[in-house]
Structure 1
Amino acid sequence: MKLERLVSIIYKLLNHEVLSASKLAEEYQVSPRTIYRDIDVLCAAGFPVVSHQGMNGGYGMMDGYKMDKSLLGSYDVHALITVLTSLSTVFHDARAQGTIERLQTIGNQHQKPSLTVDLDTHRTEPDSLPYLRAGIIQHQTVQFDYINAKNERSARELEPVRLQYKYRSWYVYGYCRSRQDYREFRLSRMLNVHLTNRSFKPRMIPADEASSSPSDSQDSMTDVVFRVYPDALAEAMDHFQQADKQFHEDGSMTMRIQIHRPLQAPWLWSFLLSLGSGAEVLEPAALRDILETKLRNALKRYNQVDM
């Protein structure tokens, strides 16, 4: 604990002009006398810590003392800080914050950021990510209830391996003890997530699972073509940024994009249906039939009259 505190104090002094002993003592929850001893240890180790007197006095590093910047350029440092800042906010990760402080010592603190990242996690259950991250790091299983694509609810116990952010959603991948196989779960469909006290030893991940996810297989990709009308252009373009686009004189647009197994992709159906009359599927015909069936079934529900 003392060593970690000493390392942390070094980086804090590198990142700030002057820090008082009382401020450091409050942050590390130790006495000012302990901070004085820590400073003596740092000075004995060769770090040029200087004392500043007066009302705003305290401790700081000697002017001109900087860390070696040869390993990372300014662009690299600020890119890493940006990503880590976003992740530390999502996971409330104190270690990530400590890494940010260390990186700031080799970057230009006065340079304005040219990139920001917002992972937009307000739609996920607030407690899910920290529990899953802890399970991955500590090799502890996680239990939860899951609603699958068929709207079936089941209890699961997972040995979490990794978290993934894709398709604007968080997923967790790991070994499902309930199904005795590797599975991927979407966090938005997980309920009552909690960390157990059962530990696990990391398993050998199958080669085909480790190299890529099934959704990356080109063999299962299919062209989906749909026409988007003027009242739905912005939403469609936000969702399918990489689609091939062809604009027409009437203001509509034809979009073409490759989708992993579109006939087994409820998320795609839901999005296209959410556009209402603003979009029309042209290809493949089977996908068009699926959407037409769902629209007819929805109309039947609305046309039912309670007797």
Structure 2
Amino acid sequence: MRLLEILFYLLKINSKTTIKNLAEMFNVCEKTIQRDLDKLSLLGIPIISYRGVNGGVEIDKNYIIAKYILTDNDYKDLILSLYISQHIKPDLKKTDLIEKFRLVDSDRCNKILEKLKEIFIIDLDEDQSINKKDVYKVIEDAIDDKSFVKLQLENTVMEVFPISYVLKKEGLYLYCYDEEYKLVLMNMVFDALKCDRYYTGPIIKYNDNKSKLKNYL
């Protein structure tokens, strides 16, 4: 989601900014912003970088998001993803990403969203979601910085290297590493603390490892 936020911000200001400014705005380190900009470049977004005292980054001023660059299915998939994500992660509501898509194509976005609200009702425990937002923030910062995180569960504390979230029928899990790969059910996590311990070794992605996982908490 941060990639979209950076893209919309650069389009909005339509001028040069610094990686330091972006890092402060999105509350991540400068290396994370640089990786995000590299990803945008790989996706075909013309990011221009300037070095030196007056350096910075901007999007080529000749670049315009075409109104019809996204098909109806593209829009439906994106809006559905954002609609679900905003209910799972309360912080996403503050980013107004759906509102930003409305700026690109208001009629199409509104039509899809209205239908979603009629046929796809999400009824989650709002209090629980709010209480968990700090936990998610700590874990996501640890993922960005490749650091370990200490998780407080009901009857135990574990220190793990977080890799990614995995949504299964039982709920949202954290795929992580602690001498072995495991899945931790996020509903069981009551608190999280970032550790001053980092991991630089190889990582096995979840899809390449899910058949071997034994720990479901």
Give the structure-2-normalised TM-score.
Answer: 0.54
State the shift of 1:187 in Å: 1.6
Tell me the distance in 2 between the aligned counterparts of 1:168 and 1:210: 17
SS in 2 for 1:115: helix
1:120–1:134 distance in 2 versus 1, CA, 3 Å: farther
Please say if residues 141 and 199 of structure 1, whose CA atoms lie closer than 8 Å, have aligned partners that are also in contact: yes
- The answer to whether residue 12 in structure 2 is matched with residue 8 in structure 1 is yes
Moved more, 67-76 or 119-128: 119-128
Please say if residues 140 and 196 of structure 1, whose CA atoms lie closer than 8 Å, have aligned partners that are also in contact: yes
State the shift of 1:70 in Å: 4.5
Please say if residues 128 and 187 of structure 1, whose CA atoms lie closer than 8 Å, have aligned partners that are also in contact: no
SS in 1 for 2:165: strand
Corresponding position of 1:87: 85
Aligned positions of 1:230-249 closer than 5 A: none
SS in 1 for 2:204: coil
Letter in 2 for 1:213: K
Tell me the distance in 2 between the aligned counterparts of 1:162 and 1:46: 36
Aligned positions of 1:122-133 closer than 5 A: 122=126, 123=128, 125-126=131-132, 127-133=134-140
Please say if residues 79 and 115 of structure 1, whose CA atoms lie closer than 8 Å, have aligned partners that are also in contact: no
Deviation by residue 1:24-62 (Cα, 9 ceiling, x = unmatched): xxxx9xxxxxxxxxxxxx9xx469xxxxxxxxxxxxxxx
Deviation by residue 1:197-236 (Cα, 9 ceiling, x = unmatched): 4333263217xx53352499xxxxxxxxxxxxxxxxxxxx
* Bigger relative CO (Cα 8 Å, ≥ 6 apart): 2
SS in 1 for 2:140: helix
Please say if residues 151 and 158 of structure 2, whose CA atoms lie closer than 8 Å, have aligned partners that are also in contact: yes
Tell me the distance in 2 between the aligned counterparts of 1:119 and 1:211: 32
Q: Tell me the number of residue pairs that the alignment of Structure 1 and Structure 2 aligns.
A: 156
Tell me the distance in 2 between the aligned counterparts of 1:192 and 1:5: 32
SS in 2 for 1:109: helix
SS in 2 for 1:129: helix
Deviation by residue 1:8-29 (Cα, 9 ceiling, x = unmatched): 345xxxxxxxxxxxxxxxxx9x
Corresponding position of 1:204: 203
Corresponding position of 1:56: none
Letter in 2 for 1:155: V
State the shift of 1:88 in Å: 4.2
Please say if residues 69 and 106 of structure 1, whose CA atoms lie closer than 8 Å, have aligned partners that are also in contact: yes
1:202–1:170 distance in 2 versus 1, CA, 3 Å: farther
Letter in 1 for 2:84: S
Aligned positions of 1:101-180 closer than 5 A: 102-109=100-107, 111-112=110-111, 113=113, 114-116=115-117, 118=122, 120=124, 122=126, 123=128, 125-126=131-132, 127-147=134-154, 153-176=155-178, 180=179
- The answer to whether residue 169 in structure 2 is matched with residue 186 in structure 1 is no
* Runs (5+) with no aligned partner, structure 1: 11-27, 29-41, 48-65, 148-152, 217-264, 268-307
State the shift of 1:159 in Å: 0.7
Aligned positions of 1:287-298 closer than 5 A: none
Tell me the distance in 1 between the aligned counterparts of 2:123 and 2:144: 21
What percent of counterpart residues are identical? 16
Q: CA RMSD in A?
A: 4.1
Tell me the distance in 1 between the aligned counterparts of 2:135 and 2:166: 13
1:72 pairs with one of 49, 70, 73: 70
Tell me the distance in 2 between the aligned counterparts of 1:162 and 1:214: 16
1:99–1:7 distance in 2 versus 1, CA, 3 Å: same
Please say if residues 153 and 191 of structure 2, whose CA atoms lie closer than 8 Å, have aligned partners that are also in contact: no
* Runs (5+) with no aligned partner, structure 2: 1-6, 15-24, 26-57
1:199–1:4 distance in 2 versus 1, CA, 3 Å: farther
Q: Which has the higher helix share?
A: 2
Letter in 2 for 1:172: L
